[in-house]
């Protein structure tokens, strides 16, 4: 079986307008080179997708995506942005169900499933996020929450759709807090997710990223676990030097079970 790619995903959240995005790209591009099997993904605010896509154009290892989309292609949804619109300005991916969307904006499992299905239908790769809150973790409900969040997406998709889906496990208590899951904690939930996928014959197809206060200092520690296919990073992706350093540290650390990475081929 082919290795799943090693993915470094930058979620800029509500940071970097078009001018800042261009300036980031100018600084970042010379700091990294394409490596086989490694992908660098950027999720800027919607208004910066076009500028960033243009600025990063020509790098086959880099892809730009949206942070959120509506499931309808157009219509009376004030403030909404549709998948064809973000695709027109260069997005090839979209985050779906990030915990800030779920918990600050009240996005439901059902909406997450609709957005995932709509993205696939439009030919855009959904990066679907799941994760438990601190209260859910403390209440011993981590497994139950993850299984529930996955179930709504699994129900909405066909088996063959899973070739084009990426998942991220992001414990809500670790996002922007400086607290990390340990590599063992993260690996354990990644295993749980794979087991759930396995019950639907999709165990090995889907890359699973880890997110939550990942930085250049801890990325190597986390990526020693073969269960992690990459990282989804907020705060530490905003500065080009810091992000390039994180990508470099993570790439060096990653050892794939089948012998890929470790020393990455140029």
| Contact predicate 228/26, CB 8 Å | no
What's the closest the beta carbon of residue 104 comes to ligand PGA, in angstroms? 11
Q: For binding to ligand PGA (CB under 6 A), which residues are involved?
A: 11, 170, 175-176, 211-214, 232-236
d(CA 265, CA 159): 32
Q: What are the residues facing 62 on neighbouring strands?
A: 40
What's the closest the beta carbon of residue 245 comes to ligand PGA, in angstroms? 14
Active-site residue 57, yes or no?
A: no
What letters, b where the CB count within 10 A reaches 16 and e where it falls short, cover 51-76? bbbbbbeeeebbbbbbbbbbbeeeee
Nearer to ligand PGA (CB atom), residue 146 or residue 202: 146
**DSSP conformation class of 12:** -
Candidates 131, 134, 73; CA nearest to 101 is: 131
Nearer to ligand PGA (CB atom), residue 193 or residue 202: 193
Q: What are the residues facing 9 on neighbouring strands?
A: 41, 232
Active-site residue 170, yes or no?
A: yes
What's the closest the beta carbon of residue 259 comes to ligand PGA, in angstroms? 29
From the list 107, 132, 170, 196, the catalytic residue is 170
d(CA 64, CA 56): 9
From the list 16, 70, 98, 190, the catalytic residue is 98
Nearer to ligand PGA (CB atom), residue 186 or residue 202: 186
| Contact predicate 181/174, CB 8 Å | yes
Nearer to ligand PGA (CB atom), residue 70 or residue 101: 101
What's the closest the beta carbon of residue 237 comes to ligand PGA, in angstroms? 7
Closest residue to ligand PGA, based on beta-carbon distance: 234
Q: Is 184 exposed, middle or buried (0-12, 13-18, 19+ CB in 10 A)?
A: exposed
Just list the catalytic residues.
98, 170
């Amino acid at each position: 079986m082919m290795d799943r790619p090693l993915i470094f995903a930058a979620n800029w959240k509500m940071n970097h307008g078009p001018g800042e995005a261009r300036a980031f790209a100018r600084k970042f591009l010379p700091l990294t080179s394409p490596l086989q099997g490694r992908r660098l993904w950027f999720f800027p605010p919607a208004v910066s997708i076009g500028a960033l896509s243009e600025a990063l154009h020509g790098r086959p290892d880099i892809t730009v995506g949206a942070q959120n989309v509506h499931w309808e292609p157009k219509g009376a949804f004030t403030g909404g942005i549709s998948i064809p619109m973000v695709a027109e300005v260069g997005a090839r991916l979209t985050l779906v169900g990030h915990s800030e969307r779920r918990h600050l904006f009240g996005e439901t499992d059902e909406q997450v499933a609709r957005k995932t299905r709509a993205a696939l239908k439009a030919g855009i790769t959904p990066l679907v996020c799941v994760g438990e809150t601190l209260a859910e973790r403390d209440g011993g409900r981590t497994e139950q929450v993850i299984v529930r969040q996955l179930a709504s997406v699994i129900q909405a998709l066909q088996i063959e759709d899973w070739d084009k889906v990426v998942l991220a496990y992001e414990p809500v208590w670790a996002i922007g807090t400086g607290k990390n899951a340990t590599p063992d904690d993260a690996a354990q939930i990644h295993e749980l997710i794979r087991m759930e996928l396995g019950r639907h014959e999709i165990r090995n197809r889907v890359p699973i990223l880890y997110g939550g206060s990942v930085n250049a200092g801890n990325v190597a520690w986390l990526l020693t676990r073969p269960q992690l296919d990459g990282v989804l990073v907020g705060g530490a992706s905003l500065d080009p030097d810091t992000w390039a350093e994180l990508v470099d540290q993570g790439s060096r650390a990653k050892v794939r079970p089948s012998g890929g990475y470790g020393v990455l081929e140029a």
